[in-house]
Structure 1
Amino acid sequence: MKYKAIISLVVIFLLSACTGNPKQASYSVDHYDLARSAVYTQRELINTQLAQSANGASEQRSPRQTMLLLSYCDLIDRRTIYASNLPGYCAQQDMQTRHCTSAFHRCLKSCELRSSDCVRCEQPAIDCINLSEH
C-alpha cells in the first residue's frame, strides 16, 4: 500500500514537471498577430523587391529579405496567406526558424503597422535566424 502511494506521487510529479518545460519552443501565435504579421511581411517584401529593382541590385538576399521570406513561408504554412505554389525557399524552414518567425509574428502585435516602429521586431528575428544557420 505504501509503495502504491509513493509510486503514484512520483508519477504525478514527473508528469507535472514535463508539462512546464521552459526549454520547449512555442510556435503558437494567435490569429490577430498572424494577420498583422501577414500585412507587414507582404508590404515589406514588396518594398524590398521594388527597391532592389530600382537600384539594379544583385539577386543576393539581405538578412532582412531572408527573414521576411521565412516569415512569409511560415504564414503560408499556417494558412494565413494563400499561395497556390509553395516557394522553393520555404524548404529551408526548420524548428529553429519556426521559433524565430513565431517570435517575430508575436512582436508585431505591439507596434504601429503604418510607421517604422515595427522595424524593431526585425533585428531580433534576423539574429535568431542567423544563430540557427550556424
Structure 2
Amino acid sequence: MSTSANITQVEALWFPLVKKFYQTYYPSGKPNKSEPLWVIKQGPTIIAAVRIKPFVDCQLMTGLVTHPEYRQQGYGSTLLDALRSEFEHIPSFCLNQPELIPFYQQHDFVLVQDEHSLPDDIQGRLRRYRVKQPELVAMVYQSATR
C-alpha cells in the first residue's frame, strides 16, 4: 500500500464522491449518509471504501470494495485492520461469498455455525440477500480481546 494514502471516516463533503465510487465499482452497495463510511484515499482518488450499518444490538460491515486498479495490494486488509476498534465494542457481522471466508478469517471474523443465533436484523438481511446470492455466508468478528 502506498504511504501517501490515508484512511479517513467520510465527512459529508465527501459523500457524493463515495456514492459515485460505489455506483461505479459496486452498484449494489448503496451508501447512506446516516451510516458510517470509511475510505482510503490518495489525494482526490478513493482507493477503497467500507460501510458499517448500525443496528440496536449489533452492526453489519458491508460494501468493502477496492478500486480495480488497486486490488490485491492490501487496501481491503488495511481498512479492516483500521476498523478493529469499531468491531470490538458491539457484535459485528459481515455477509459474504464463501470464497472470501479465508480473507475475513485473517481479520478475526469467524463463520457463524448456527444462523438461528444471529440477531434478527442480520438474519433478515441474510434471508433477503440469499434470494439473489444463495451461497452467502454470515461471519462474526471475534477478536482475542472479546
TM-score (norm 2): 0.22
Structure showing greater radius of gyration is 1
- If each structure's helix is expressed as a fraction of its own residues, which one has the higher value? 1
Structure having the higher strand fraction is: 2
Higher relative contact order (CA 8 A, sep 6+): 1
